Amino acid sequence: MTSFRRFALAGLIANTVIMSTGAAVRLSSSGLGCPDWPRCSEADIVASRNAGQTLLNTWIEFGNRLLNFPLVAITALVFIAAWRLTRAPGPYQGRRDLFWLAAIQPLGVVAQAVVGGIVVLTKLNPAMVSVHFLLSASIVAASVLLIARCADFTDVGPVRPELRVLSGVLALVTAAMLAAGTVVTGTGPLAGHADTPRYHLPVEGVTQLHADIGWLMGGVTVALVLGLRLSGAGPRAMRMGWIVLGGLFVQGTLGYVQYFTHLPAGLVWVHVTTAVMLWIAVLWLFFTLSNGTFIVQQQAAVPQREPETADR
């Protein structure tokens, strides 16, 4: 199990890195640096100068494609490790949840390759770009769940049931935040070159919606941390709550700074990367609280035993 946890963590890190590099491709207008798929172009398999693209754009896109090879290798190792773990005699034999969660990773990489090809062949259709990003976020979520299913949560401490529900609401709001972020990018100037397809939506409107979801996320997080504090939750649960709250503050600050500085691509890339890390933290908080225990003190009127007398 110790080795399997290391493989699972490597899978999570690899999927997070590929999301970050994919955002760099988008924000550097390199999505069509390789205008064909699975080849870089009709004439070349590897990166080469293409019409309308700089050589740097081509290598950024091609480099992101090359990262899929180590990603495939890592996710395959995660699956093999789960297959061996769940079939060897021992306490984890027959754990189908670990097997199928591990299988999601290599299957997800294949699905991502197909969706990525569609993105290129449709000349960066914004809807397909959003699907591409959100599919990666789903694979990351499965990776976090895989680690959580083989983690030890015995020291989480007491967690009230309503706070578990609130942590689930926070995860849903965070997912909505990621989806709204893809719409903002697909509508604004960082969607690509001037002729790149975009969502036919008002930039100010989708940006305001994205910000409103962020404020909702902040309110839910503050309520959750206060609830954990007042209910006497264990230190592990409180620590994760503070991590999420601090990450949300950083993320909100980056969002407003990039807006008032007219969306510098480098800062937006940092914003997207930290959003992925915040997504992981929110999911881990949810899984932490879901595995916590809440002991209700029964205060109903129960007849008290009479103290035994000396005669007895």
Cα–Cα distance measured from residue 28 to residue 21, given in angstroms and rounded to the nearest whole number? 10
Rounded average pLDDT over 294-298: 32
Does residue 28 sit within a domain?
yes
Cα–Cα distance measured from residue 55 to residue 66, given in angstroms and rounded to the nearest whole number? 16
What pLDDT shows up at residue 181? 94
Q: What is the mean pLDDT of the chain?
A: 87
The verdict on 62 and 138 lying in the same domain is yes
The verdict on 237 and 163 lying in the same domain is yes
Contacts of 171 (CB under 8 A, 6+ apart): 282, 283, 286
Does residue 64 sit within a domain?
yes
- Residues 119, 127: contact at Cβ < 8 Å? no
The verdict on 290 and 157 lying in the same domain is yes
Q: Would you place residue 304 in the very low, low, confident or very high pLDDT band (cuts 50, 70, 90)?
A: very low
pLDDT at 307 over 50: no
Q: Taking the model in full, what pTM does it have? A: 0.88
Does residue 8 sit within a domain?
yes
Rounded average pLDDT over 226-240: 88
Does residue 301 sit within a domain?
no
The verdict on 147 and 1 lying in the same domain is yes
pLDDT at 123 over 60: yes
192 or 81: whose pLDDT is higher? 81
Rounded average pLDDT over 271-291: 93
* 234 phi, psi to nearest 5 deg: -65, 165
- Radius of gyration over alpha carbons of the chain, in Å? 24
Count of structural domains within the chain = 2
Q: Can you give the residue range of the structural domain that contains 10?
A: 1-151
Q: Of the ranges 12-21, 122-131, 215-224, 288-297, which one carries the lowest mean pLDDT score?
A: 288-297
What pLDDT shows up at residue 62? 87
Q: Which of 132, 151, 170 is the last residue of a domain?
A: 151
Q: Would you place residue 134 in the very low, low, confident or very high pLDDT band (cuts 50, 70, 90)?
A: very high
